[in-house]
Amino acid sequence: MNQELRRKVLGCFKQLHRTRLTVFQGDDRALTAARDRINMEFVKNKEICDASSVEELVKYGHEVEEVLRTSVVQAVQKEDGLFSARIRPEVMRLDNKPYSPMPESMIGPFKKKKTECSDT
């Protein structure tokens, strides 16, 4: 493996571990599990020598890092049924809109059908 590719792999490895420390801050069990998983994946793919395969794996590693950084939120149970969430600034927030079974545009003014028996 050439030096440039080696530098990219090590950079990806370090970035994943930095993100792990930020995302799972204060949760020793999650920190350990994430560390073990990152290390296991890199050791598993250690023997790959094809440059294009390594580039693809590095790209995948950066995508995983981005998902961890932007999607994972920590929640801690304070009381029975009460949780506190630690939401970092980089976490992606989606709009929360109440569920509506029918779009408002489909609900229109309803007119009563006139029949022979109806009052005028």
19: closest CA among 51, 54, 66? Answer: 66
Please report the pLDDT score of residue 101 as a whole number: 67
Average pLDDT over residues 46-65: 93
In a domain, 99, yes or no: no
In a domain, 52, yes or no: yes
Domain hosting residue 64, numbered range: 3-72
**Side-chain half-sphere CA neighbours of 24 within 13 A:** 17
In a domain, 40, yes or no: yes
In a domain, 100, yes or no: no
Average pLDDT over residues 40-66: 93
73: closest CA among 59, 61, 83? Answer: 83
pLDDT digits (tens, 9 = 90+) for 1-47: 689 999 999 999 999 999 999 999 988 999 999 999 999 999 999 99
The answer to whether 60 and 70 are in contact (CB under 8 A) is no
To the nearest whole number, what is the mean pLDDT of the chain? 85
Rounded CA separation 72/92 (Å) = 9
Domain count, the chain: 1
In a domain, 86, yes or no: no
The answer to whether 19 and 61 are in contact (CB under 8 A) is no
The answer to whether 1 and 49 are in contact (CB under 8 A) is yes
Q: Which amino acid is at 11?
A: G
Please report the pLDDT score of residue 88 as a whole number: 85
In a domain, 13, yes or no: yes
Least confident range of 8-22, 26-40, 89-103, 105-119: 105-119
Average pLDDT over residues 49-60: 93
